[in-house]
Structure 1
């Protein structure tokens, strides 16, 4: 799920100004924007919100979202589809972005930091541990909650906490457990039955 973008016309409607005024904001450097290959101006949601807050313009409800953002990193497209299908029932609470590898995950995180990540440990190229290590090297990324999965027996030379992993699931496991864990670590009360989760390595709940 890509970050929401807005046209100059849409921003004009939101701010109750003419599109030409929005263009002036962009050209003056006050409002960050980028140009599409077709030559159209587009503004990322977060940049629009930053602009509104900077100039004390009320942020409309359509720009604010209480949904928590989750990034899923897995090279298995079938697994991604299953996770998307499982979280679909809870789309009022979570917004998912899915990427196939660690490199794309880092690129996406550079644009918009998720509240939580669900990642597979064993992936070609950059594996889950390497991805976590890179994230831990950046102070601003320490707040990301991480749920990890693996279908293989792994031997840890360091604790899960060292990698910033909050919980490790061993496949197979009920995918609804991912939803429960996301709710737990993001402190969201979800309308799903409570149950004892299957054995999974776990570190602190903060």
Structure 2
């Protein structure tokens, strides 16, 4: 099923779903992305379930996913996106304030290329997004 133009970024923009349960961080991240030179449409979600719904609705190019959410953690969200019959056609960047050591291995096995600590700052997230979008366009 095709994504409607108004959801796909009808002006040719890539769509990014940003997921974080901290309202202050989420708002700041969205503003940072919108003020950057990235030509993207931003969709917000505050829980894992909301993220799954928005990802299904807009079929994003990129997902910026907080590791710890109140209902699901990042691996649980990604696992659901990779279930049989579903197609994850987006790169996932995981941001975290901290996670178990074994989570890095698990996320890498799921195809996550970028895991950033929130202490690296929002410009680091924007730069990771820029690189992910470049990889996608080069593919």
Pick the TM interval, shorter chain.
0.7 to 0.9
Query: Do structure 1's residue 167 and structure 2's residue 114 form an aligned pair?
Result: yes
Bigger relative contact order (CA 8 A; separation at least 6): 2
Contact 1:142/1:164, CA 8 A, preserved across alignment = no
Question: How many residue pairs get matched?
Answer: 133
Shift of the 138–70 alpha-carbon distance from structure 1 to 2, 3 Å rule, reads farther
Query: Which structure has the greater CA radius of gyration?
Result: 1
- Indicate the residue corresponding to 1:178 in structure 2: 125
User: How far is 1:108 from its partner?
Assistant: 1.6
How far apart, CA to CA, are the structure 2 residues paired with 1:153 and 1:102?
16
Structure with more of its chain in helix, by fraction: 2
Q: TM-score, normalised by structure 1?
A: 0.57
Q: For residues 22-68 of structure 1, what are the alpha-carbon distances to aligned partners after superposition, in whole Å with 9 as ceiling and x for unaligned?
A: xxxxxxxxxxxxxxxxxxxxxx97179xxxxxxxxxxxxxx842211
SS at match of 1:106: helix
User: How far is 1:146 from its partner?
Assistant: 0.5
Shift of the 138–112 alpha-carbon distance from structure 1 to 2, 3 Å rule, reads farther
Query: Do structure 1's residue 146 and structure 2's residue 104 form an aligned pair?
Result: no
Contact 2:64/2:94, CA 8 A, preserved across alignment = yes
Q: TM-score, normalised by structure 2?
A: 0.81
What are the ranges of 5 or more consecutive residues in structure 1 without an aligned counterpart?
1-43, 49-62, 189-205
How far apart, CA to CA, are the structure 2 residues paired with 1:138 and 1:107?
17
